[in-house]
Structures are given as C-alpha cells and as structure tokens.
C-alpha cells in the first residue's frame, strides 16, 4: 500500500459505524492487523438507521482515529476527504435485502451512485488500493457446488443488483483507468454489534425477550456463515497483499439451512420449537449461496479461524450481556 509522505498509511473507511466496518476499525486500532499497525483511519459515515456511533466508542480516543459524518454521494465532501488518504476500504451501503424489497431507491443511490462518487474521487487523487466490499449475493443462487470469482453475476434482489452494479463500476475503473480496485465478495456475516433486523441478532434478541422468531418459507434456504472477524482478517489481507483489478471471495466454511441455524439458536437461548413461527417466504428468496474462496487462501493465506458453534455461542452471550446496545434500536428503528 502506498504511504503518505510521513509513511503512515491513511485509510478512508466508509460505513465504519455499521456492523462490519466498525469491527474492522476496532480491530485495526487495537493492533489486530499487525501489517496495518499505526495506520490512521478516517470513518466516513452518514449514520443511517444502521450506523451507530456507539460501535466506535471503544476506539474513539485512539491516536489516528477521525470521524466524518457525511454521505458518500456528496461529491464535494468525498473529494475533500479523499484527498487526505492513501487507501480506501468501502463498506458503506444499504445492506438489508428485506428493506430493498420494500423500496429500493436508497439502495441504488447509496450503493451505485455512492460507490461511483468514491471511485471518481479516488481516481482524481490517485488513491489506492480501493477495496470494494461486496457480497456473494451478486452471483444469485446455486443449487450445488460453489461459485469461483469468474462466475457470471445473476443477482435477484434489488439489494444484490445494486451491489453487482457497484462491483462492475468499480472493476471498470481498474480496467479503464488503471485504478487499484480490489473487489471482495463475502458470505453472510455474524458476530457482535450486528443490527437486530438481520436473522441471527433478530432471532437472538427475540428469544432473549421470550418472543417468537419468524422463519421464512420451509426454512431450507442454505447460507454459509462467516464470523465478522474472519471477514475483516480477509479484508486486511486483500488490502495488504491483494492484486489490483482482482475479485476475492471470502467464505466461512459453515453451510447450514435456516432451520439448522434456528435449531442452534433455540438451544443456545434455552428455547424450543414452540418459539418458531413459519412466515410467508421472502419474495425472490435465493435458495443457496456458496462461495469458493480457494483463491483468497492460495494468494494471500486466508483461512477462517472461528468455529461456528463457538462463535455463535459468543454472539448469543454478547447480546445477552449488551441489552442496552440493542433494546433501543429494536424499539425505535426497526420498521
Ligand atoms: P450495515 O448496514 O451494518 O452498515 C452500513 C453502514 O453504512 C452504516 O454505518 C450506515 O450508516 C452507512 N451508510 C449507509 N448509507 C450511507 C451513505 N449514503 N453514506 C455514508 N454512509 C452510509 O452493513 P454491514 O452489514 O456492516 O455491511 C457492510 C458491507 O458489507 C456492505 O457493503 C454490505 O453490502 C457488505 N456485506 C455485508 C454482509 C453481511 O452479512 N452483513 C454480507 C455480505 C456483504
């Protein structure tokens, strides 16, 4: 990674007040990515319903941390912030599929226009690497086997279509302009600080409150679960050792049906199947996701370290111990 004149890398991190971005910031600033030790980090975040300043409290006073409240579609702001940085890790997005089914305008504006605004500014100021954080959902749904990075894109939800669009624009900035863009596509993340609208924190917090959990359709949709810490380790490796213009899948290695996931969560929370309510399936619900992440393993040495059952138990414990973090969010912000 190129460095600023005083050799301290300055990383612009968009969406750093959200679930995954804040984990990346907390890990980086507490020494969890040794090759990035000492890096300066600026979080640029609009603080939408999903952005929570409290997620950054543990590192707010660390040397090298700065926070800018703002929108990635604000070209003037993005331009001035970009000029002060050497690299970008771009997390900011509208990220919830169900919300994109209710209304997708914000998804197109933030995920497509916002990404384009950042790329344009990075190109003007010669900033790179630009790590664009994307999702396995851009590949669509796969009945068997796993997607390599070369598979065609076939997104099905407005969310995944907006992410696929942003992936293509990002890659075009490499192919056309030579910008050092690196795209990552990860599977479903879980861990602490995840907004309680996504399935794992929604189910955990409902069960901790003695409420029912809504299971979509027949519950047989398959997801590959990736601990947020493994995802962030993979991103740090791509930032450090990845190649310009390349796509890297990041998987967790735990493929289970939503029924199996529910079963584990019920057990961890001391509840029974009486707490499960089958609800009408999500529109256009992808049946199965599965990424082949051998490229990331072979090129940069990635390997997920978190065992799923242990990670899930720790996640349940975190929500049990941090009610003040999620209780208000559930009451005020979920639709
Ligand atoms: P999140 O919804 O928890 O956080 C998104 C963050 O982006 C929030 O802090 C929000 O305030 C900010 N943001 C939204 N719109 C913005 C805008 N216009 N300008 C500036 N900031 C804005 O999301 P997450 O789960 O942390 O996901 C981070 C990234 O990872 C996203 O790009 C998402 O598509 C991708 N991803 C997530 C998962 C997952 O399982 N959570 C899986 C695959 C890919």
Q: Is 283 exposed, middle or buried (0-12, 13-18, 19+ CB in 10 A)?
A: exposed
What does CATH list as the number for 10-189+225-250? 3.40.50.720
Tell me the β-bridge partners of 269: none
Q: Tens place of pLDDT for every residue, the chain, 335 residues? A: 554 446 789 999 999 999 999 999 999 999 999 999 999 999 999 999 999 999 999 999 999 999 999 999 999 999 999 999 999 999 999 999 999 999 999 999 999 999 999 999 999 999 999 999 999 999 999 999 999 999 999 999 999 999 999 999 999 999 999 999 999 999 999 999 999 999 999 999 999 999 999 999 999 999 999 999 999 999 999 999 999 999 999 999 999 999 999 999 999 999 999 999 999 989 988 899 999 999 999 999 999 999 999 999 999 999 999 999 999 998 875 44
Say if 10-189+225-250 and 196-223+254-283+307-332 have the same CATH topology: no
CA of 6 to the centre of ligand 1 (A): 31
290's enclosing H/E stretch is: none
Unique residue bearing structure tokens 């005020």: 332
Among 92, 147, 193, 232, the mutation site with the greatest number of ligand 1 atoms within 8 A of its Cβ is 92
CA-CA distance, 130 to 86, in Å (whole number)? 9
Q: What is the pLDDT of residues 254-294, one digit of tens each?
A: 999 999 999 999 999 999 999 999 999 899 888 999 999 99
SS (H, E, C) 233-266: HHHHHHHHHCCCCCEEEECCCEEEEHHHHHHHHH
CA-CA distance, 211 to 285, in Å (whole number)? 24
Q: Is 166 in the pocket of ligand 1 (CB under 6 A)?
A: no
Catalytic residue annotation: 136-137, 159
Model pLDDT, residue 6: 60
CA-CA distance, 146 to 155, in Å (whole number)? 15
Model pLDDT, residue 284: 86
CA of 276 to the centre of ligand 1 (A): 28
CA-CA distance, 115 to 173, in Å (whole number)? 11
CA-CA distance, 200 to 95, in Å (whole number)? 15
Residue pair 29/61 in contact (Cβ under 8 Å)? The answer is no
Unique residue bearing structure tokens 């009451």: 331
Q: What is the pLDDT of residues 81-138, one digit of tens each?
A: 999 999 999 999 999 999 999 999 999 999 999 999 999 999 999 999 999 999 999 9
Q: Is 75 exposed, middle or buried (0-12, 13-18, 19+ CB in 10 A)?
A: middle
Q: How far is CA 184 from the centre of its chain?
A: 10
Q: Is 59 in the pocket of ligand 1 (CB under 6 A)?
A: no
Would you state the structure tokens that stand for residue 49, as one six-digit string?
């319903």
Q: Is 155 in the pocket of ligand 1 (CB under 6 A)?
A: no
> What superfamily does domain 196-223+254-283+307-332 belong to in CATH?
UDP-galactose 4-epimerase, domain 1 (3.90.25.10)
Q: Which residues contact 254 (CB under 8 A, 6 or more apart)?
A: 224, 225, 226, 308
Among 48, 49, 75, the mutation site with the greatest number of ligand 1 atoms within 8 A of its Cβ is 48
Give the position, in ligand 1's atom list, of the atom nearest the Cα of 47. Answer: 11
Where along the chain do its domains lie?
A: 10-189+225-250, 196-223+254-283+307-332
Give the position, in ligand 1's atom list, of the atom nearest the Cα of 20. Answer: 26
* The model's pTM: 0.96
């Amino acid at each position: 990674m190129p460095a600023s004149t005083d050799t301290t890398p300055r990383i612009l991190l968009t969406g750093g007040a959200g679930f995954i971005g804040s984990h990346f910031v907390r890990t980086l600033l507490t020494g969890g990515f040794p090759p990035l030790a000492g890096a300066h980090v600026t979080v640029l975040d609009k603080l939408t319903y999903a952005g929570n300043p409290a997620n950054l409290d543990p590192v707010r006073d660390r040397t090298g941390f700065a926070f800018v409240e703002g929108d990635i579609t604000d070209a003037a702001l993005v331009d001035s912030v970009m000029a002060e940085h050497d690299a970008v890790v771009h997390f900011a997005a509208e990220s919830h599929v169900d919300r994109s089914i209710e209304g997708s305008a914000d998804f197109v504006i933030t995920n497509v226009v916002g990404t384009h605004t950042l790329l344009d500014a990075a190109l003007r100021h010669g900033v790179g690497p630009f790590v664009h954080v994307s999702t396995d959902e851009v590949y669509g749904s796969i009945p068997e086997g796993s997607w390599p990075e070369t598979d065609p894109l076939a997104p099905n939800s407005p969310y995944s279509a907006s992410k696929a669009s942003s992936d293509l624009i990002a890659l075009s900035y490499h192919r056309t302009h030579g910008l050092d863009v690196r795209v990552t596509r990860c599977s479903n993340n879980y861990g602490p600080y995840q907004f309680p609208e996504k399935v794992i924190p929604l189910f955990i917090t409902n069960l901790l409150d003695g409420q029912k959990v809504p299971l979509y359709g027949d519950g047989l949709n398959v997801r590959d679960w990736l601990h947020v810490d493994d995802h962030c380790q993979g991103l740090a490796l791509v930032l450090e050792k990845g190649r310009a213009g390349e796509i890297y899948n990041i998987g967790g290695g735990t493929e289970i049906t939503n029924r199996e996931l529910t079963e584990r969560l019920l057990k961890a929370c001391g509840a029974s199947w009486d707490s499960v309510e089958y609800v009408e399936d999500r529109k256009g619900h992808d049946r199965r996701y599965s990424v082949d992440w051998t490229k990331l393993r072979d090129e940069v040495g990635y390997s997920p370290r978190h065992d799923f059952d242990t990670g899930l138990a720790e996640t349940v414990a975190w929500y049990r111990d941090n009610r003040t973090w999620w209780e208000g969010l559930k009451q005020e912000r979920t639709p």
